[in-house]
Structure 1
Amino acid sequence: MKLLVAIVVILAVGGNTLDIIPITEWAGSEINRKQELANPVNMVVIQHTASKDCYSDKLCLQTVNNIRGYVMKIGFDDIPYSFMVGGNGKVYEGAGWHRVGAHTKGYNDKAIGIGFIGTFVEKLPSPEALKAAQELIEYGVQNNHIAGDYKLFGHRQLSSTVSPGDALQKEIEGWPHWAKN
């Protein structure tokens, strides 16, 4: 079995630890998306993957690979999200900071799309996942990938969808930078 190596990013503010697993590690290949994403972006879009939840490294790895395989089978170039966050508190790179994803039609070239792994209509992601997403956004701001005055949206605010689910939408409405409109 291939050893999965995580890149650990230490955040300067608060000394938090954020595990970001590069796509080359979890998928074994580079992202197929080639269009450059101009940084910093002014928007962050929170979504859910509408898949099964995952809480262990093994299950999250299997889930993100299943999502990648499925979306490519139905015609996407590659994983649509910039990043995916597992219930294990780890972040899985998709299109990342520097490539345009396919997460929110009309906003892909203006936003980072963060997909929580699972379906969050009636329940919230794990506390570890919520913390990891917030640390990811903070890291993005600190490293000029996300503008300091960014706006945070739930996917449903920009597209006709239930994503990120009722429970997760209500949660992010209390996060810094959430934009009503």
Structure 2
Amino acid sequence: MFLSIIIVVLGLSLANASCPHIVSKKEWGGLTPVHVSYLPRPLDLVIIQHTVTPFCSSDGTCAEAARNIQTYQIDELNYWDLGMSFLIGGNGKIYEGAGWLHVGAHTYGYNSKSIGISFIGNYNNDDPTAAQLDAVKALLRCGVEEGHLTPDFKVVGHKQLIATQSPGRRLYQVIRTWPQWLEDVTPIKNKS
């Protein structure tokens, strides 16, 4: 019995070993959400965006960017929380937004059926760093392993679903090469 418990605990810790560290809201100084609504799981859609804010490359500037975005979205846009599920800093760190479990406010009409991942910066001008791309790929693998994403999930650019330049030309060019890329969004596109 004791050996079985040790094996289960060891198995759980090994299962999470491949998941990257996500900087929690508490760690980056985020506010508690005003309200939460829960996502169904697993999801099969990931939307990649950019914040159109200055690029950040240090822990301090990336945490400050996350705080500024959250404050703006709560105070000015009346969102319940930071709208994106996750933010990716130029330092290669992943910042918790609405997370895996909560409905975000990142893409009108798709919030309750997708995960929104936003790169901090303007990727019409900035190139995504290798550290950022590695972090997102690790996050997506973890999402599948932990049952948040289906094994056959698809990735799209924000601009494929609504009228925007997001995720920026340079980032869009990169994500189009990913194996999960969905070129034709006609089957998933909202009819409005």
Q: Could you tell me which residue of structure 1 aligns to residue 153 of structure 2?
A: 150
CA displacement 1:69-121 (0-9 Å, x = unmatched): 11112122221100000010110000000000010111111111000000101
Q: Normalized per residue, which structure has more helix?
A: 2
User: What is the alpha-carbon root mean square deviation over aligned residues?
Assistant: 1.8
The structural deviation recorded for 1:27 is 2.4
What is the SS of the residue equivalent to 1:174?
coil
* C-alpha contact 2:34 2:81 (8 A) present in aligned 1: yes
Distance 2:26 2:123 in 1: 28
The range that moved more, 30-39 or 83-92, is 30-39
Q: Normalized against structure 1, the TM-score is what?
A: 0.88
What is the SS of the residue equivalent to 1:71?
helix
The structural deviation recorded for 1:18 is 1.9
Q: Could you tell me which residue of structure 2 aligns to residue 88 of structure 1?
A: 91
* C-alpha contact 1:33 1:101 (8 A) present in aligned 2: no
Q: Normalized against structure 2, the TM-score is what?
A: 0.83
1:62 and 2:64 matched: yes
Question: Which amino acid is the alignment partner of residue 129 of structure 2?
Answer: S
The structural deviation recorded for 1:11 is 8.0
Distance 1:170 1:11 in 2: 34
1:110 and 2:99 matched: no
Q: Could you tell me which residue of structure 1 aligns to residue 133 of structure 2?
A: 130
* C-alpha contact 2:32 2:81 (8 A) present in aligned 1: no
Q: Could you tell me which residue of structure 2 aligns to residue 25 of structure 1?
A: 27
What is the SS of the residue equivalent to 2:177?
coil
Distance 1:33 1:154 in 2: 27
* C-alpha contact 2:28 2:67 (8 A) present in aligned 1: yes
Identity %, equivalent residues: 42
Structure 1: which 5+ runs fail to align? 1-9
What is the SS of the residue equivalent to 1:159?
coil
Instruction: Determine which structure has more spread, i.e. the larger CA radius of gyration.
Output: 2
CA displacement 1:93-152 (0-9 Å, x = unmatched): 000000000101111111110000001013322111111011101110111101111111
Distance 2:140 2:164 in 1: 23
CA displacement 1:9-33 (0-9 Å, x = unmatched): x8859x7662211112212543334
* C-alpha contact 2:175 2:181 (8 A) present in aligned 1: yes
* C-alpha contact 1:120 1:165 (8 A) present in aligned 2: yes
Distance 1:87 1:157 in 2: 24
Change in Cα spacing, 1:42 to 1:33, as seen in structure 2 (3 Å) is: farther
What is the SS of the residue equivalent to 2:123?
coil
The range that moved more, 120-129 or 135-144, is 120-129
The range that moved more, 38-47 or 21-30, is 21-30
* C-alpha contact 1:11 1:18 (8 A) present in aligned 2: no
